[in-house]
Structure 1
Amino acid sequence: MALCEVLNSFLFEYDTPRIVLIRSRKVGLVNRGCSSAFSWVFLWEKGYQETDSVVSSVTTKVKGVTLTNTSTLGARIWDVADYVIPPQGENTVFVMTNVILTLNQSQGHCPELPDDQTVCKVKSDCVPGYVSTHSSGIQTGECVPYNSSINTCQVLAWCPVEDDSHIPKPAFLREAENFTLLVKNNIWYRKFNFSKRNILPTINSTYLKNCIYDAQTDPFCPIFRLGKIVEAAGQDFQEMAVEGGVMALQINWDCNLDRAASHCVPKYSFRRLDNKDSAHTVSPGYNFRFAKYYRNRDGSESRTLIKAYGIRFDIIVFGKAGKFDVIPTMINIGSGLALFGVATVLCDIVVLYCMKKKYYYREKKYKYVEDHELGVGETYGTNS
């Protein structure tokens, strides 16, 4: 019973002016609104389906070769084994685009890289055994020449120490934008025992060897040019390649399993994940260090230290599948019927107590009738 109907009965008991309830047009509007909302939930949002979230696995493969020619290394070919680190990752792949190399390091004594904590003039400026967060080694307590104009504290470290104060520009492997990434993705919806992969049944070996993903011409090709991935995310590859970054390759599997399996296909999208903000310039991009070790003929050990800058591609898979089921169908039908029952009460409360024109609506909704108009004392009906 609506709120106003309860009040009407209460007032009638105490011989006050009678209230005759007249059906409001607003109730009809609300009912029609409820009907539209129910249709939207039940049909457009597929309230008649049971749903399940995707279970996924991803493997990747990068291809591409480039040539560099520098005074330090001379002419050198770089292939997948050089710039993909590590060779396989879990739902991710890192491609090195820039590098700082420190060749032929061996353990010994050498001057530390100059900074506010390591520049010295006399021996007493250096503390034996001192190590800071950014030290290349352990101070010996000696002050030695770093070059013809600067002295620094001597350290026990891998020598010569790395100098990463200047990042190569343009990027060392700027041709990496032409490298390609093959993404193989298998998905499974457990509730429906439905599985599929992003290399669709319509794709053959000939097509796979020649296609490159394009949102318009080749939307289902699983091979992506790295430069196009970054460009699709609204970024500049050559700028990103200098200091590195993190990109997301998103695969969306939204499947209506009431239709044929051929309609369940992947949709690809791309975005940059690391924060590129001109107001936050501390430690930008993405980099890490690793080394390659060698044993010399005299038995001593040496290494090449590599500070690698690059782009990490994270493959993120998400999706939902739905299929008709009796239980959610009955639940949503019951919820819809309950919604219609609440419509009248909600309409009364909102229209008569919350809206600016509540007095106008109250006048239209109710008619006040005096007792003499009803014929007080008259008997209606037939006494048995």
Structure 2
Amino acid sequence: MCTEDADCPVGSPVVHGNGIRTGKCLMFNATHSTCEIYGWCPVENDTLPRKPLLAEAENFTVFIKNTVHFTKFNVSKCNTLQTSDPSYFKSCTYDPVSHPFCPVFRVRDMVEAAGKNFGDLALLGGSIRVVIEWNCDLDHPAPQCQPQYSFRLQDTMYNFRTASYSRGSEQQLCRTLLKLSGIRLQLSVHAQAGKFSIVPTAVSLGTSVAFFGAATMVCDLVLLYLDAKADLYWKEKFEEAIPPKGEPKATA
């Protein structure tokens, strides 16, 4: 609402509108005046689709290639299996039981593994987090160092907008606005590796032995001098030596 042009500063956006103010206050009807705005016409259609827009995408496959490098051990690992069959990646699809290391994933399987029905995400899109975990014991053969995959639902709606611009028959600027819904995949990689070495093992063992020796000394000090029953502990820990009969105490 406005009463004069000063209420409509030029270029200021309309928070609940679809454009920017032109600086003019115009009569909207017989009783109200509003700020004129400059924007694209018609405005965006916010009505929700009635049928899934991504129904055919459930059988799409995604190939995920991931490489990790353990710099401390100078070891690199890739999630693509070393195979002599050139058609392996064209025929295999990830399955947690039969093909747990195949890096080709069906979209429907990922959605269902995240605990969601594909038909629900096919309507308005969604976001799935793909977690790749490497836990490698490098004392074992290299082929045993393989990733584990898991899937988590991040959001049940995902869309973005994109626009293309052109000139009409009268050189009028035109815009085509597209609101795109889709399934977004977020990749998260966690990797750790270990290998036996005699040097840190010896250091850890020596530290443990020294710690237990110090602990014994501290316990003795507490029980002998600070505990309320220190006299009883003295009698149990130390025994007075009595000389044999017929010998003076000093000799004994």
Q: Could you say which residue in structure 1 is the equivalent of 2:239?
A: none
Q: Could you say which residue in structure 1 is the equivalent of 2:91?
A: 210
The verdict on how the C-alpha distance between 1:135 and 1:261 changes in structure 2, with shifts beyond 3 A counting, is same
8 A Cα contact 1:170 1:238, kept in partner:
no
| SS in structure 1 of the partner of residue 39 of structure 2 | strand
Gaps of 5+ in 1: 1-119, 146-150, 277-284, 352-357, 369-373
Q: 2:39 aligns with which of 125, 139, 157?
A: 157
TM-score by length of 2: 0.74
Q: Which amino acid aligns with 2:210?
A: A
The verdict on how the C-alpha distance between 1:194 and 1:363 changes in structure 2, with shifts beyond 3 A counting, is same
| Cα distance in structure 1, aligned partners of 2:205 and 2:141 | 26
Aligned-pair distance for 1:200? Answer: 0.9
Q: Which amino acid aligns with 1:308?
A: L
Say if 2:170 is the partner of 1:321.
no
| SS in structure 2 of the partner of residue 191 of structure 1 | coil
| Cα distance in structure 2, aligned partners of 1:228 and 1:152 | 53
Aligned-pair distance for 1:182? Answer: 0.8
Aligned-pair distance for 1:348? Answer: 7.5
Q: 1:112-165 CA deviation, whole Å, 9 max, x = no partner?
A: xxxxxxxx7x987994645233431124433569xxxxx98652111111132x
Q: Which amino acid aligns with 1:142?
A: L
| Cα distance in structure 2, aligned partners of 1:349 and 1:237 | 68
1:28-67 map, 5 Å: none
Q: Could you say which residue in structure 1 is the equivalent of 2:251?
A: 382
Gaps of 5+ in 2: 237-241
| SS in structure 1 of the partner of residue 112 of structure 2 | helix
8 A Cα contact 1:253 1:264, kept in partner:
yes
The verdict on how the C-alpha distance between 1:178 and 1:330 changes in structure 2, with shifts beyond 3 A counting, is same
The verdict on how the C-alpha distance between 1:289 and 1:330 changes in structure 2, with shifts beyond 3 A counting, is same
| SS in structure 2 of the partner of residue 192 of structure 1 | coil
| Cα distance in structure 2, aligned partners of 1:152 and 1:173 | 41
1:166-315 map, 5 Å: 166-202=47-83, 204-274=85-155, 285-315=157-187
Q: Which amino acid aligns with 1:163?
A: N
Aligned-pair distance for 1:362? Answer: 9.2
Q: Which amino acid aligns with 1:315?
A: L
- Structure 1 window deviating more from structure 2 (238-247 vs 172-181): it is 238-247
| Cα distance in structure 2, aligned partners of 1:235 and 1:350 | 61
The verdict on how the C-alpha distance between 1:364 and 1:174 changes in structure 2, with shifts beyond 3 A counting, is farther
The verdict on how the C-alpha distance between 1:199 and 1:127 changes in structure 2, with shifts beyond 3 A counting, is same
% identical aligned pairs:
42
8 A Cα contact 2:14 2:21, kept in partner:
no
The verdict on how the C-alpha distance between 1:349 and 1:239 changes in structure 2, with shifts beyond 3 A counting, is farther
TM-score by length of 1: 0.51
| Cα distance in structure 1, aligned partners of 2:94 and 2:84 | 13
8 A Cα contact 2:65 2:103, kept in partner:
yes
| Cα distance in structure 2, aligned partners of 1:286 and 1:349 | 66
8 A Cα contact 2:54 2:182, kept in partner:
no
Say if 2:9 is the partner of 1:137.
no
Q: Which has the higher contact order (CA 8 A, sep 6+)?
A: 1
| Cα distance in structure 1, aligned partners of 2:179 and 2:218 | 66
Aligned length, in residue pairs: 238
| Cα distance in structure 2, aligned partners of 1:308 and 1:320 | 38
The verdict on how the C-alpha distance between 1:317 and 1:362 changes in structure 2, with shifts beyond 3 A counting, is same
| Cα distance in structure 2, aligned partners of 1:152 and 1:307 | 29
Q: Which amino acid aligns with 1:303?
A: R
The verdict on how the C-alpha distance between 1:327 and 1:234 changes in structure 2, with shifts beyond 3 A counting, is same
Q: Could you say which residue in structure 2 is the equivalent of 1:338?
A: 210
8 A Cα contact 2:60 2:107, kept in partner:
yes
Q: Could you say which residue in structure 2 is the equivalent of 1:79?
A: none
Q: 1:154-213 CA deviation, whole Å, 9 max, x = no partner?
A: 52111111132x222443223322221110112222222222211110363322112111
